[in-house]
A and B are shown apart, each in its own frame.
Chain A
């Protein structure tokens, strides 16, 4: 594959945003960065800055207040980017999907590329989700490079 595509999938920088999660999934994301799971070996770095991030990890359900923040963060990320919804709440709203203040899953606000269900999603699943997102990114990147 081309150099740029290879570089993109070898260096996915992550922005982690909590949309209203109970923090269960957030703790699992942090756990994924610990030596036991060590996502840095895939080149994944938890960069806190959307301008420098490629992957947006979202936890928690989207609600009326934070949808603007979520949209803002998504817009501040330069292309190519992918979004991963971590945990059941981010995927569909889970048990909160009916609540008056929630909109449901994150995909109500921004386009989601990979859904990682679970309550809380385990680090292995999170890593798996990121790998799936990278496959998608590879396809997007190859299309781009071929002038698509």
Chain B
């Protein structure tokens, strides 16, 4: 599986190391673009890195002894999930690993007695509940096309996925919106603005624990967008363009929509996700059988 003498092994490994960095840059571009959409100048693109370094140097205030370990768990398991993606492993295992990361974050947030982070954590659970089934269904759809749940399988078939899985591609939009914590579905925490729960699930994190959470968030965003690039695996440059397109669409949605409640989030994500992907699955099978 992992052959240390083959140069090809090091390319995915490089991506794994660079994933948080790429994620951070994307967050910077996010803030810049959002500002421009709002007729502002916006912060420099490297801003997230300045934020993270500054946070690392703050005097450490903790909510509990467990908190930093779990915060690192969030980051660590996000990186592990990215590694699974980069090395072409099982999509389902990748999704479950993302779940471990999320659970680390949620338990870390429950760990303090703050009512804000408590409610934020409960909302984050609903966030998990809304996007996980959609991603697994998307994985199922991909597996029908490639014959396997292994990401390597997407590279082994010579055709790109997008023409066969257009609806599933669209279903990734609500998943992205939810994962990037963008309106309308930023119920548990929203970017850097404070909201009705102060900072929601991030309220009791500060200093280096918040920096770790930031790194984890960047990695997750990079992971989701890397997953989208798989929709045009034969030419990854097109894949990256697709990912950046969906990224931009997410930003537009964020700037257009107000924040909605968790019920809308679950309803929309599940309805759109399930309907689109099931339609795609049936369409794909009919198409494959007819060929």
Contacts and interface: CB of A to CB of B under 8 A. Distances in A.
Interface residues of A, number: 26
B257 interface: no
A46 to B, nearest CB: 7
Contacts of B50: 6-7, 10-11, 43
B158 interface: no
A78 B86 CA distance: 38
> For chain B, what secondary structure do more than half of its interface residues adopt (helix, strand, loop), or is it mixed?
loop
Contacts, number: 90
Given A6-B50, A51-B206, A45 B193 contact: yes
A48 to B, nearest CB: 3
Contact residues on B (Cβ < 8 Å of other chain), bracket: 35 or more
B6 interface: no
A42 B58 CA distance: 19
A51 B61 contact: yes
Nearest to A44: B43
A145 B198 CA distance: 32
B51 A11 contact: yes
B194 A49 contact: yes
Interface in A36-85: 38, 40-43, 45-49, 51-52, 54, 76, 78-80
Nearest to A48: B194
Contacts of A48: 194, 198-199
B54 interface: yes
Interface string B79-112: 0000000000000000000000000000000000
A51 B205 CA distance: 7
A11 B38 CA distance: 21
Contacts of B65: none
Interface in B31-76: 31, 35, 38-44, 47, 49-61
A11 B39 contact: no
Given A51-B61, A52-B206, A11 B54 contact: yes
A79 B53 contact: no
Contact of A47 (B41, B60, B199): B199
B193 A41 contact: no
A27 interface: no
A7 B59 contact: no
Interface in A90-140: none
Interface in B182-200: 192-194, 198-199
Contacts of A76: 61
B28 to A, nearest CB: 11
Interface of B: 31, 35, 38-44, 47, 49-61, 192-194, 198-199, 202-207, 210
Given A38-B41, A41-B44, A52-B210, 5 more contacts: A6-B50, A10-B54, A45-B192, A51-B61, A54-B58
